[in-house]
Amino acid sequence: VLLSLKESYEEALQRTDVKAIVVTGKGGKFSGGFDISSFGDLHSGKIEQPKVGYISIDILTELLEGATKPSVAAIDGLCLGGGLEVSMACHARISTPTAQLGLPELQLGIIPGFGGTQRLPRLVGLTKSLEMILLSKPIKGEEAHQVGLVDSIVSPNDLVNTARRWALDICELRKPWIKSLYKTDKLEPLGEAREILKFARAQARKQAANLEHPLVCIDVIEEGIISGPQA
């Protein structure tokens, strides 16, 4: 899916009759995220392991977010894990009120790997993003709008058309062209951020004393705040 998304993007960027891009899912779902069974294929060598950063940096950051044409995610149904990470690389997100948005990776013993550890805090702030990631707790479209994860709520029937108009409005500078990886207005000041992270670590240890990956995830979020998201 990610490789075909890359091909579709490259085609859309080359075509002179395309001004802007809408990313959406079929049949009332955006994307449930990574296909867990493919981990088995990666481990057995059936699928080649992509080089580090190929998806998170080359595809999502440089191609999608860094594109010369704006993109808007039109979200309905499930928008989880890698699905949410794709939507956060778009320049705006339009959602239905009942869509479910979240990063449930920690439940699977892994951490979000396609930039979610960096983009979610920059869109909703550190406290809310840690809650969503550490509890693997999706939120509905309505709440996602209140916390700043999505830009507008519309009915399923109006979803794609609203996203199209929004994307063209970005193109014509009537709406802001926002790269969420470089947003800083929602991030708490460094001192406060450190306190929030310290508290999150204590909570994670209390909830699951023997699990290492939630603490690694907090380290990764902190690294991005201190050294910048590319790191």
Residues identified as active-site: 85, 105
Between CA 120 and CA 83 the distance in angstroms is 13
Distance CA 110, CA 174 (A): 39
CA torsion, ordered 10, 16, 19, 24, to nearest 10 deg = -40
Question: E strands, the chain, where?
Answer: 21-24, 71-75, 78-80, 92-95, 100-102, 139-140, 152-153
DSSP conformation class of 156: G
Distance between CA atoms of 219 and 217, rounded to whole angstroms?
5
